[in-house]
Amino acid sequence: MRNILCVDDDTDFAMMVADILKREGYNVKIDTGKNMHSILRSDKYGLVLLDERLMWMWGSDLCMELKQNPSTRHIPVAMVSAADDIAKIKDRCGAEAYMKKPFELMQFLHLVDQLYLYKDEVV
């Protein structure tokens, strides 16, 4: 199974992303970020979609934690946020890409397909 972790505290948005990506052959786990590290240890994930404005902390701080950890630094991170300066935030935290909300569906799917780490695995 091709696993993606969606870190967002907007449940409706996260569920929409999960539904869309499920149709594309991905298994999406949703989290607010509080369980992110244990989730990433529990299975192999090929992408983290990370919102910047979480209720309890900045997504970019979580991204920096991922990129500084030897066991998670290889996992691509896409910042997905309505923040006006999301391009600068992406550069500052070390994420591989960003997508500004609201986004165009085909662009989003292309981004996910481009970033997903384990492309050659059988679904």
pLDDT in tens, 66-92: 999 999 999 999 999 999 999 999 999
d(CA 41, CA 25): 22
Which domains are seen in the chain, by residue range? 2-115 (3.40.50.2300)
C-alpha distance from residue 58 to each of 19, 22, 64, 80 (Å)? 25, 27, 10, 12
3-state secondary structure of 49: strand
- pTM metric for this prediction: 0.93
Structure tokens, 74: 């290889």
Structure tokens, 52: 């910047």
More confident of the two residues 7 and 117: 7
